[in-house]
Amino acid sequence: MDPVTHALVGLGVGALSGQALSPYNPVYCAAVLGALAPDLDVLAMLRGRVSFMRQHRGASHSLAGIMLISLAVSLIIYIDFAVSPWLYLPWALAGACSHVTLDCLNSYGTQLWWPFSRKRIAGNLLMFMDPLLFSFFLPVIFCRREPQTAALAALLTTACYLALRGRMRSQANRFLQAEYNIKQEKGMLIVLPALHGLASWDFRIEGSQRILLGTLNLLRHKISNSITLERQAHTELVEKALQSGAGRFFRQLTAHYHFTHWEEKGRLFVRLLDLRFQKQRDFFYRLTFVFNEQLNLEEASFHTLQETIPLEPR
């Protein structure tokens, strides 16, 4: 979710106190700072995009991380306002929880159980930037004297919206099952919110021989951007790629990946595709390995839509 929406939701959390809205009120400062602070992992971008992707939505978005963040925010409140930090720790924690909850509800997910597990928890309900959530909490700003009512209305509307999104995803599942004659087999059909369009859902249908990807517009019952990927055998070469440092990084980034491998001019190639995000039939994140004939890894390159980044082959 974008920082502006996180800040507005934090403002709504602070408004539950019933106090008048003010930038000098430590309740609002604690809640908004708590709602924004988990994204300080953006500072990892100073070491490059790959470093950022390793860190983003990791420790700072975990349960352990938000506890430490909330304590730090409370200390800032104490230094700035000279009031007991323990009075405002719950508001900082509530703001941080709102941030992590929203980020858990899209398809990128967060490492909620870090450091015990690096698996990403993803609810697959919300888009990365949801204009409706922004609009739900915007009225809080204009109710300076009695913002509590606007905040309660925003939270209730958000709960109803999440329920609606869940129902839409179920409808998309049923439509796709009927359209492609999919039987109820666990993991065979995966439906995710599309990057754009409130009524659009990306889907993946996994068969034994191939994988079908596409986008469903639920209102029009129209399927677009269809791609078919052929499955290949899981070889020793693929296993070497997956167990390399670059491969572990990619699998930490996503559990939804597809691999291909081929030989060209005496060199062996393996490519991993992140199946969650695509644009005009191109995938946002890809990783390419180059091996020699002795199956020694020589090169590894991480690709985005904008750039190619060499990784250390190890």
And the tokens for 303? Answer: 């690709």
Domain boundary among 184, 215, 230: 230
Q: How far is CA 13 from CA 33, 95, 242, in A?
A: 11, 6, 42
Q: Are residues 158 and 171 in the same domain?
A: no
Q: Are residues 171 and 61 in the same domain?
A: no
Q: Are residues 150 and 181 in the same domain?
A: no
Bridge partners, residue 290, by sequence: 269, 299
Q: Are residues 81 and 157 in the same domain?
A: yes
Domain boundary among 144, 163, 182: 163
Q: Are residues 120 and 194 in the same domain?
A: no
Maximum CA extent, the chain: 73
What letter would DSSP give residue 106? Answer: B
| Rounded (5°) CA angle 54-36-305 | 40
Q: Are residues 48 and 143 in the same domain?
A: yes
Q: Are residues 181 and 257 in the same domain?
A: no
Q: Are residues 84 and 8 in the same domain?
A: yes
pLDDT in tens, the chain (314 residues): 899 999 999 999 999 999 989 889 999 999 999 999 999 999 988 888 888 888 899 999 999 999 999 999 999 999 988 888 889 999 999 999 999 999 999 999 999 999 999 889 999 999 988 999 999 999 999 988 889 999 999 999 999 999 999 999 999 999 999 999 887 655 689 999 998 899 999 999 998 889 999 999 999 999 998 999 999 999 999 999 999 999 999 998 998 999 999 999 889 999 999 999 887 778 999 999 999 988 899 999 999 888 899 987 66
Q: Are residues 105 and 252 in the same domain?
A: no
Instruction: Give the number of other CB atoms < 10 A from CB of residue 168.
Output: 18
Residue holding tokens 């996180």?
6
Q: Are residues 186 and 155 in the same domain?
A: no
Instruction: Answer for the pair 269, 290: CB distance below 8 angstroms, yes or no.
Output: yes
Q: Are residues 35 and 104 in the same domain?
A: yes
Instruction: Answer for the pair 73, 92: CB distance below 8 angstroms, yes or no.
Output: yes
Cα separation, 114 vs 59, whole angstroms: 6
Cα separation, 53 vs 241, whole angstroms: 19
Q: Report the Cα 68 to chain-centroid distance in Å.
A: 21
Q: Are residues 122 and 199 in the same domain?
A: no
| Domain enclosing residue 269, as ranges | 236-311
Domain boundary among 112, 142, 163: 163
Q: How many domains does the chain have?
A: 3
Instruction: Answer for the pair 140, 158: CB distance below 8 angstroms, yes or no.
Output: no
